[in-house]
Structure 1
């Protein structure tokens, strides 16, 4: 039977919590949410079969087992940290870690990223994906692109660009429900939902005093939302840079000439102030702001 090893991310969470004497402080140091840190501690407690901490209200102390186990964990982590790495140099190749929403990565970042890598071939770019509105911690990334309202406390937040939102549907779906001629005809359609692209502001723009839909399919990824629209699940809201290819192919069609010019959500570049002290990160931020000029941001 293969040996079962303790989860390393849980060991580092345990060491940080024990050193800080606080789950909240340890979570901030590791740049994860307190609930994520608590989950890691629970994983480790399940692994060792004993309690590591005694929680008394807001007070957090190590259990007797936790104190003895901490010595072992600290020594193990120190051994890993101090292990000689002869091929690792201090002048490591500069790299930028960026976390972006999947749809932004697919439709907007990848088509342009070669501009940066060709201009700066010495800088390694590492792209990670996050779910908008859910993953609200930078974790180990140097910067993020977030799709949201732009309210991120304690972070440097710069609006990258926003686009008008408009309604689209597949031709097959429109034929199936007998067509849609006016915004009021949407009352016979299935309105696909997304926390990223809410209907209520668009309704107001269209002169409809309707509440936010509360049923039908919900998809909190803009790319998957477009796929659902293309496959005839209903009518949804989208934006030009995501839908232009499907519109050109006739897979979806825009309904009406109504466009919500200032939707609640836009794309923002988000990072900690200290990230800009690294030249490669500053270069990437500057490149992003130039790659998506004012004409695009206000499109």
Structure 2
């Protein structure tokens, strides 16, 4: 029968909070966000089935069960820490955890990541994907690129770039519906929908008094949205960074020469204020700002 063990990262959070009497100080010690720290404590409390702390404003104190459990946890952590390891004295390799939206990762981050790797060959990079407009906490990552409105309280937020959006369609789809000469002709087209690229503002720029479409195919990933266009499912709004290659290959064409100059959403570099205390994270931030904020995209 398998033994069900408590998560070690939650045990270390529990021990740190008990030692400091503060979630905030303990979270800072472990280099994670307060929300991620609270999640670890909730996870451990769910595991043991008991409350571990009594919350009183900004300070916390152990419950009676928490005090008894702390002795066991400290003994276990001490045993793990003191166990002789053959490579314990080897220096830890610098590591940066980066979270990016899928389309940004595919079209922009990965094609240029070799530049950072050449500059910082000793840094290990761990890349994670996030869902735009849904994942709103840094969790345990060091650097995050977010696609949204740019309102992220208590975080350093820097706009990477903002570019116009414009409608695109595949040549095969245009032939199928008899072409699209003017914006009003979109009434005969299937408009592909996405919360990431809403149509309403572009309609206004094009002089169309139309509501946001509520029917038809919807995609919450910009890469899938472009693939749907390429496969001839309809017309969608796109951005040059992502659509340029497909346009160059003739897989889709821009329509009407009407662009929305200031779209609702943009890409932002988001990180905690103390992130630059670690040289490897500061190096990643500087590289991303130099590569993307200055728009030196090739």
The correspondence for 2:33, drawn from 22, 26, 31, is 31
The corresponding residue for 1:183 is 183
- C-alpha distance after superposition, 1:231-272 (max 9, x if no partner): 223211111111112112222221110111111211111111
Tell me whether 1:229 sits opposite 2:229 in the alignment: yes
Confirm or deny: 8 A CA contact 1:190 1:234 kept in the other structure. Answer: yes
Change (3 A) 1:219 1:66: farther
Confirm or deny: 8 A CA contact 2:159 2:293 kept in the other structure. Answer: no
Partners of 2:64 and 2:123 in 1: CA distance: 48
Partners of 1:141 and 1:54 in 2: CA distance: 26
Confirm or deny: 8 A CA contact 1:31 1:140 kept in the other structure. Answer: yes
Tell me whether 1:87 sits opposite 2:56 in the alignment: no
TM-score relative to the length of structure 2: 0.80
The corresponding residue for 1:130 is 130
The corresponding residue for 1:289 is 289
Structure 1 stretches of 5 or more lacking a match?
Answer: none
Partners of 1:13 and 1:219 in 2: CA distance: 38
Partners of 2:12 and 2:195 in 1: CA distance: 34
4+ residue segments displaced more than 6 Å: 13-29, 53-56, 60-67
Partners of 1:131 and 1:207 in 2: CA distance: 32
TM-score relative to the length of structure 1: 0.80
Change (3 A) 1:180 1:279: same
Partners of 1:266 and 1:284 in 2: CA distance: 20
The corresponding residue for 2:103 is 103
Task: Measure how far apart 1:167 and its partner are.
Answer: 0.8
Number of residue pairs the alignment of both structures matches: 295
Change (3 A) 1:66 1:197: same
What SS class does the counterpart of residue 274 from structure 2 fall into? helix
Aligned-CA RMSD value:
3.6
Task: Measure how far apart 1:165 and its partner are.
Answer: 0.6
Change (3 A) 1:14 1:228: farther
The corresponding residue for 1:150 is 150
Structure 2 stretches of 5 or more lacking a match?
Answer: none
- C-alpha distance after superposition, 1:173-210 (max 9, x if no partner): 33333322211122222222222111111111111122
Moved more, 101-110 or 183-192: 183-192
What SS class does the counterpart of residue 291 from structure 1 fall into? helix
What SS class does the counterpart of residue 273 from structure 1 fall into? coil
Partners of 1:170 and 1:231 in 2: CA distance: 7
Change (3 A) 1:88 1:261: farther
What SS class does the counterpart of residue 223 from structure 2 fall into? helix
Task: Measure how far apart 1:43 and its partner are.
Answer: 8.5
Confirm or deny: 8 A CA contact 1:168 1:254 kept in the other structure. Answer: yes
What SS class does the counterpart of residue 168 from structure 1 fall into? strand
